[in-house]
Amino acid sequence: MKIALINENSQVSKNKIIYDALKQAADLKGYEVFNYGMENEKENNLTYVQAGLLAGILINSKAADFIVTGCGTGEGAMLALNSFPNVQCGHITDPTDAYLFGQINAGNAISIGFAKGFGWGSELTLTYIFEKLFADDFGGGYPKERAIPEQANKMILDKIRQITQKDMLTILIEIDQDFLYQTINREQFKKFFFENAEDGEIKEYIRNIIDLRKQN
């Protein structure tokens, strides 16, 4: 599994704490973690809305299989990520949330509040959240006897989202191109995205946007 960490600007100081806790849990499962920033305040500003756009690009291009993000409360980032097709983001506050989200909802992204209630011992909470999130294969159900109806509901929701949301390439074409460029013109993004993206159309469109701006 390829896991992408995306931090927006208000919580940049916590990037290393989050990354270290996430990587510790991921290493136990043999998963890869890619830190898309922000890692420090010298980077170009990244808002939670832009985190949503990045998540949409990464998931739909298959550059990442799972997204870990958040903001002050975790609410804004969750809403932003869920605005994009094929991204199913849960708001996680504790390890139980993390486990149940993976088992019942089987989503591909989580948003955490990194300011509200974040204090002494919070790095331990993050460690336990990530451990429980990846403890078992997603979609196993909870309680186990509810697995079949829970899986059926997820399939129904996936089909509804396909109807109600545009495809990612159309979004990239129609979205404000300045906003798109500001979002993707980041060294971590360009490095990890082009190394890992599988969807040719999305990858090519992103490459064209970057190359075009370089020429101007």
User: Is residue 216 over pLDDT 90?
Assistant: no
Q: Which token pair is 199?
A: 């969807």
User: Is residue 188 over pLDDT 80?
Assistant: yes
pTM of the model: 0.95
Instruction: State the CATH number of the domain containing residue 165.
Output: 3.40.1400.10
Q: What one-character-per-residue DSSP string does 92-137 give? A: E-SHHHHHHIIIII--SEEEEESSTT--TTHHHHHHHHHHHHTSS-
Q: Residue 89 carries which side chain, given as an amino acid letter?
A: C
- Give which of 147, 175, 11 is closest to 184, Cα–Cα: 175
Averaged pLDDT for residues 166-173: 96
User: Is residue 215 over pLDDT 80?
Assistant: no
Range of the domain at 24: 2-215
Tell me, what's the pLDDT at 41? 87
Helices and strands (H, E) in the chain, number of each type: 10, 5
Domain count for the chain: 1
Averaged pLDDT for residues 23-51: 95
Mean pLDDT of all residues belonging to the chain: 96
Averaged pLDDT for residues 94-104: 98
Report the residue count for the chain: 216
- The secondary structure element, H or E, covering residue 5 is strand 2-5
Q: What one-character-per-residue DSSP string does 58-78 give? A: HHHTTS-SEEEEEESSSHHHH
The edge-to-edge listing of strands for the beta sheet with 2-5 is 32-35, 2-5, 66-71, 109-113, 89-92
Average the pLDDT over each of 101-105, 161-165, 212-216 and give the range with the smallest value. Answer: 212-216
Cα 56 to chain center, whole Å?
8
